[in-house]
Amino acid sequence: MSPAERIEVLRRDIRSHDHRYFVLDDPVISDYDYDMLVNELRDLESAHPDLITPDSPTRRVGGTPSSTFPVVRHPVPMLSIGNTYNDEEIRDFDRRIRDMLGPESEYAYAVELKIDGVAVSLRYEDGALALGATRGDGEQGDDITANLRTIRSIPLRITERQSVLNNIEVRGEVYIPHDGFRALNELRAEREEPLFANPRNATAGSLKLRDPRIVAERPLRVFLYTLRFEDEAGALAEQPELDSHFQRLGWLAEQGFPTNREARRFAAIGEVIDFCQEWEDRRSSLPYDIDGMVIKVDSIGLHGKLGATMKSPRWAIASKFAAQRATTRLTDIRLQVGRTGVVTPVAELEPVFLAGSTISRATLHNENEIRDKELRVGDTVVIEKGGDVIPKIVKVDKSKRMGSAAQFKMPTVCPVCESTLEREGDEVAWRCRNEACPAQMQARVTHFTARNAMDIEGFGPAVTEQILENGLIGDVGDIYGLTREQLGALERMGEKSADNLLRGIETSRDRPLDRLLFSLGIPHVGERAARQIADRFRSMEGIMAASEEDLVAVPEIGPKIAESIVSFFRNERNLEIVGKLEKAGLNMAMAVPDAAEGGAEGGADAAEGGADDQVLADKIVVITGTLSNYTREEMAGLIASAGGRVTSSVSKKTDYLVYGENAGSKLKKAQSLGVRFLNEEEIEALLTGKQST
Ligand code: IVH
């Protein structure tokens, strides 16, 4: 046998053993024998480097760490699905389907577990894995191919039949099973790294790591559930012999993809409901988290007929489970000082395992909540993990109260800097007003350097604390002036870490304006609001000059945010910080999209949406009446992201009036002025590009 032939045999065998081990959970050889095969392949490949191919099992972990992930546009948007919370809502869904398809129509449902993980898309070109991406905002996600390649249940090439297909895209959910999650957190505890709150967070965090070698060590798994065929031109290719979603799951399994084996097909909605109930009762027996069931019309042909709203397909719905509960003991109430000085009580709990993770803390929001629930330290409490990550205390079991723990009293001074706490107007929150309070400073720097903000690698909590304690910075504006000598002199900070940190600081200088705006930590200004505002005003100068009136004219920006921004930029200290950041050379303006360049610069600017989806560029739109699938804010957001400007009153300048139910005088006025008006379906068609302006 020639080396080339032996290499082929080894690769085939290893692929098959990977499939048996990671997908079927049914290995047929020992770990030792498996390692021997891999070693032999590695040796042969290093002796014959010309025979190395990217789909070799030895090439799962490759490349060098990347500082950012390229953004990729999904050929077909990755939608989410509507939620139902009880049987009646599932029956409503079925009635809607029947209404749309006609009373005589016949259809079945495929019902699957709703895996609580992170959605991804995998593209195979000519049978080989070519691209792996996150869902992102649904339109575009991050190219995380290098990270997804390390998941050993994901085939790097499709086993057979590759000649009959062109390219395919499969989508599914990456997750971490319970045992892997526990092991991962144990390891992190040993290394004194922060623990992950739950498997979903651990999954999301792992997929965003810059270094595929670390990703390879994370116990990531995947279930794939969507399959799309493409023709040579990249368009959707019908595959009439595979019209059933349920059959497609079978096809995926045949090709070596991990699919969930619990999916079933039912003709009657009653059976669907029973099956969902069965899993709600049995969910804790699974080795991974699910947060509901997904009900899909089985015929792919009907999916086209039923269509989708902008957010979700009409042919699928999620049946969400009620939050899981557990009982534990409240051991203490601690106070946390946030970046704006708000002092929040936090419940310390006796650790309890709930829905895939160990809970030892819960938010208490504010003093009133503690009083309303009559909580006392030592109480037995029922906690619940809802859709959100942070568990909450739902009630106290007073019958179990022993002894006479005192009622909780909110202190009058900051637990960290001891300055007097204040409460504004009718607000419930107590605030520490000392801007130099170490807890606030720490929280502000943590916010500024966080991954979704300026994303400064290496600026962890311990380093931040050290930098602040040593007085190296007085505010976030000083971060860019940190020197190698200063950092190198810190305890436990090696030369290499200091250099890494400086490199992290350096790369963060290029973050776009909206990120910088978010990083400033202006109260109430989240990522989305920051994006909208940066989009509108285009420069820090413009934002600083904006009045409350200018600000509320921006889609999704309400008076509370507007007021907060104006007052932030009235504060001398804040102006000083912005001044320092400007001097440090950070992006104080958005890159101007130049029509001639067509956004060819790529990067973040390309991600803002190319000219082709700006179907409402410069159009003035008014919304009136009640829409059935969106709130007005949502519709305004969609219009804004298509380049339109939403105003409140109809005039001759108005280009479109979008109207819902009970549209009153505005619709009449639009008619009399000759303004074009669109109902919900029409604006949807326009926004999704199914109709032109
Ligand atoms: S189907 C267009 N099936 O739930 C419908 N989604 O809210 C595409 N998910 O983004 C989704 N298990 O991340 C589907 N068996 C399953 C799922 C599933 C988990 C997630 C997925 C999706 C979200 C929908």
- Read off the pLDDT of residues 610-633 as tens digits, 9 standing for 90 and up: 334 578 888 888 888 888 877 777
Q: Do 71 and 136 meet the contact criterion of CB atoms below 8 Å apart?
A: yes
Long-range Cβ contact pairs of 448-453 (< 8 A, separation 24 or more):
448/476, 448/479, 448/519, 448/520, 448/521, 449/479, 449/508, 450/519, 451/208, 452/518, 452/527, 453/515, 453/518, 453/519
Residues in the chain: 693
Judge whether residue 326 has pLDDT over 80. yes
Question: Count of CB atoms within 10 A of residue 87's CB?
Answer: 16
* Range scoring the smallest mean pLDDT among 101-105, 190-194, 284-288: 190-194
Estimate to the nearest angstrom the gap between the alpha carbon of 64 and the chain centroid. Answer: 25
Q: Which two tokens stand for residue 300?
A: 């792919």
Residue 277 in this model has a pLDDT that exceeds 50: yes
Please name every residue paired with 313 in a beta bridge, in sequence order, or none if there are none: 308
Using CB distances shorter than 6 Å, the residues near ligand 1 are 79-81, 112, 114-115, 119, 173, 225, 294, 313, 316, 318
Of residues 489 and 278, more confidence is placed in 278
Query: Residues 43-71: what's their mean pLDDT?
Result: 88
Give the mean pLDDT of 34-50: 94
Which residue has a Cα nearest atom 2 of ligand 1?
A: 79
Q: State how far Cα 134 lies from the chain centre.
A: 9
- pLDDT value at 270 more than 70: yes
CB atoms within 10 A of CB 332: 10
Question: Which atom in ligand 1 lies closest to the alpha carbon of residue 112?
Answer: 15
Q: Are strands 290-297 and 316-320 parallel, antiparallel or unpaired?
A: antiparallel
With contact defined as beta carbons under 8 Å apart, do 224 and 258 qualify?
yes
- Please choose, from the candidates 311, 387, 295, the residue with its C-alpha nearest in 3D space to the C-alpha of residue 91: 295
For 177-226, how does the pLDDT look when each residue is reduced to its tens digit (9 = 90+)? Answer: 999 999 998 898 787 677 787 899 899 999 999 899 999 999 999 999 99
Amino acid 389: pLDDT? 58
CA of 452 to the centre of ligand 1 (A): 24
Confidence of residue 234 (pLDDT cuts 50, 70, 90): low
Return the pLDDT at 257.
94
φ and ψ at 313, to 5 degrees?
A: -70, 150
345-363 pLDDT, tens per residue? 999 999 988 876 778 888 8
Mean pLDDT of the chain: 87
Q: Are strands 656-659 and 676-678 parallel, antiparallel or unpaired?
A: parallel
pLDDT band with cut points at 50, 70 and 90 for residue 597 = very low
Task: Identify which of 173, 174, 265 to mutate to test ligand 1's pocket (most ligand atoms within 8 A of the CB).
Answer: 173
3-state helix, strand, coil in the chain (%, to 5): 40, 20, 40
What end-to-end distance do the CA atoms of the chain give, in Å? Answer: 65
Tokens of 177: 């099973």
606 φ/ψ sector (left φ>0, alpha ψ -120 to 50, else beta): alpha
Task: State the closest ligand 1 atom to the C-alpha of 79, by its place in the atom list counted from 1.
Answer: 2
Higher pLDDT, 408 or 513: 513
| Reported confidence tier of residue 599, pLDDT bands at 50, 70, 90 | very low
Check whether 163 has a pLDDT greater than 60. Answer: no
DSSP label at 7?
A: H
In this predicted structure, the answer to whether residue 230 has a pLDDT above a threshold of 90 is: no
- Catalytic residues, by residue number, are 114
Give 114 Cα–ligand 1 centroid separation in angstroms: 6
| pLDDT score recorded for residue 247 | 95
d(CA 619, CA 292): 41
What are the start-end ranges of the H helices in 212-350?
A: 212-215, 245-254, 269-282, 300-306
Yes or no: say if 220 and 151 are a contact pair by the CB < 8 Å rule. Answer: yes
Mean pLDDT of the region 16-36: 91
Which is it for the CA torsion 227, 108, 223, 22, positive or negative?
A: negative
pLDDT band at 608 (very low <50, low <70, confident <90, very high): very low
Give dist(CA 390, CA 396) in Å, integer: 18
Pairwise CA distance, residues 675 & 653, whole Å: 9
Q: Tell me the one-letter amino acid at 39.
A: N
CA distance 302 to 307: 8
Nearest CA to ligand 1 atom 22: 80
Ligand 1 centroid to Cα of residue 317, in Å, is 9
Question: Which of 449-453, 604-608, 627-631, 668-672 is least confident?
Answer: 604-608
CB 622 within 8 A of CB 574: no
pLDDT of residue 607: 32
Cα 555–Cα 444–Cα 214 angle in degrees, nearest 5:
95
Rounded average pLDDT over 391-409 = 81
pLDDT for residue 245: 96
- CA 646 – CA 408 distance, rounded (Å): 48
Per residue in 511-562, pLDDT tens?
A: 999 999 999 999 889 888 999 999 999 899 999 999 999 999 998 888 999 9
Structure tokens, 626: 């009640």
Q: Report how far ligand 1's centroid is from the alpha carbon of 81 (Å).
A: 7
pTM of the complete model: 0.61
Asked if the model's pLDDT at residue 265 lies above 70, the reply is: yes
Q: What is the DSSP string of 582-593?
A: HHTT---BPPPP
Q: Rounded to 5 degrees, what are φ and ψ at 113?
A: -70, 140
